[in-house]
Structure 1
Amino acid sequence: MAEPRSPLGKAFVAGDHGNHAAGIGVTLRERKNLSIIQITAWADSIPAVLTAIGSATGLVLQNKPGLGRVAGEKSVFGFAPGRYFVVSATPDLETRLRSAISAELGTMVDLTHGRTVIRIGGPRSEWVISKLFAIDFSEHAFPVAYGRATLHHDIHTNIQRIDDETFDLYVFRTFARSFWLTLGHAAEEVGYRVE
């Protein structure tokens, strides 16, 4: 199966941009070849769904809002009560999850072709995304692996912190190019690299 064409198109320009004379503040890249599955658990089945996600992915998740796990190219995070994003670089993710989670436990939607994942990393990543979202991105308020659902104007975004300086931003493919350009503008003052 061919890799889907990036929605970023000509807006994706590799190299250094903005005010990078004093160094690069952030790096931007599009994460590709991911499976993205959204799971919604029925209210009384949340513990069973979390156990099933753990058995299918090896990522054990506690039943606490926003809590998540990251291991290499796979991750899981809650972004609303009973709602979870499960992400992996393996094409059989949906099959493994469907074998572990029955319709009696909740619903599952494959968002792989409906979302674009933009990774922002670097020492000024918190600063740059704080310009776009009214969220405290400091590590005590938004710890590693934590996830949130939010908006930048009308662009819905799911965000997960990957490590101290890195965040994954999940946006609808139809808004990806516009959001990418907005993110670039927000990063201009600190200098950014597109990889």
Structure 2
Amino acid sequence: MVERESPLGPAFEPGAFPNHAGDTGIRLSEATPARIVEACAWPGKEQALRDAIARATGLRLEGTAANSAASSKDAAALCIGPGRYLVSSARQGLFETMRAEIDAETGTVTDLSHGRTCIRLEGSACEWVLSKLFAVDFHLTTFPPGTGLATAHHDIFAQIHRSGENRFEIFVFRSFARAFWAALQEAAAETGYEVR
């Protein structure tokens, strides 16, 4: 398999970019190499699909809430609609593993690795920075770890997963990745940031 190139290209510039006070409030990175798939259940097969995702990734998805999600050190699954999940992993072969677990009676699995990118934010100022870009309440009480949602920043569609108290993954279309990255850097200039 040919390894995909980052859509960020020369816009991805590792280093520290502190604010005027010399602080760096968040860390930005691209989750690479990220494997991203969408798994969809046929009507009535939602639990069978969640069980297949658990076997393939070790992630246990609870309930049917539209904002349900689960994550581990190297994988994440996010409900993006009724019976639909966006699953990502740093491990090779995610699509093949998922396809082996999800039979034709349960649903479908589509490889999105070449169509999406995952940008990760970590740090105490994540909520502040993200609130500049999205009309979403990111407070822990309303957007706790293990939840997610689909929204947009202007015309850039984004699926946001909160994988920890101070950690978010944002999935965007590859064609918009560089524009979103630039907007994110601008929003983070006030707090300062590191790129890793």
Shift of 1:110: 0.5
**Which residue identity is paired with 1:184?**
Q
Judge which range, 160-169 or 1-10, deviates more.
Answer: 1-10
TM-score (normalizing by structure 2): 0.94
For residue 45 of structure 2, give the secondary structure of its aligned residue in structure 1.
Answer: helix
Show the 5 A alignment for 1:1-195: 1-17=1-17, 19-63=19-63, 64-195=65-196
Q: How many residues align?
A: 195
Flag structure 1 segments of 5+ consecutive residues without an equivalent: none
Deviations 1:34-64 (A, max 9, x none): 2111111123111111111112221111122
Deviations 1:155-182 (A, max 9, x none): 1111111211110111111110000000
TM-score (normalizing by structure 1): 0.94
Tell me if the contact between 1:39 and 1:109 (Cα under 8 Å) persists in the aligned partners: yes
Superposed structure 1 runs of 4+ greater than 2 Å apart: none
For residue 66 of structure 2, give the secondary structure of its aligned residue in structure 1.
Answer: coil
Flag structure 2 segments of 5+ consecutive residues without an equivalent: none
**Which residue identity is paired with 1:65?**
A
**Which residue identity is paired with 1:104?**
E
For residue 184 of structure 2, give the secondary structure of its aligned residue in structure 1.
Answer: helix
For residue 190 of structure 1, give the secondary structure of its aligned residue in structure 2.
Answer: coil
Tell me if the contact between 2:31 and 2:90 (Cα under 8 Å) persists in the aligned partners: no
Identity of aligned residues (%): 44
For residue 5 of structure 1, give the secondary structure of its aligned residue in structure 2.
Answer: coil
Tell me if the contact between 1:41 and 1:82 (Cα under 8 Å) persists in the aligned partners: yes
For residue 131 of structure 1, give the secondary structure of its aligned residue in structure 2.
Answer: helix
For residue 16 of structure 2, give the secondary structure of its aligned residue in structure 1.
Answer: strand
- The CA distance in 2 between the partners of 1:21 and 1:73, in whole Å, is 34
CA RMSD of aligned residues (A): 1.4
In the superposition, relative to structure 1, how do residues 102 and 2 fare at CA in structure 2: closer, same or farther (>3 Å)? closer
- The CA distance in 2 between the partners of 1:114 and 1:66, in whole Å, is 22
**Which residue identity is paired with 1:157?**
A
In the superposition, relative to structure 1, how do residues 20 and 194 fare at CA in structure 2: closer, same or farther (>3 Å)? farther
Tell me if the contact between 1:80 and 1:149 (Cα under 8 Å) persists in the aligned partners: no
- The CA distance in 2 between the partners of 1:69 and 1:25, in whole Å, is 25
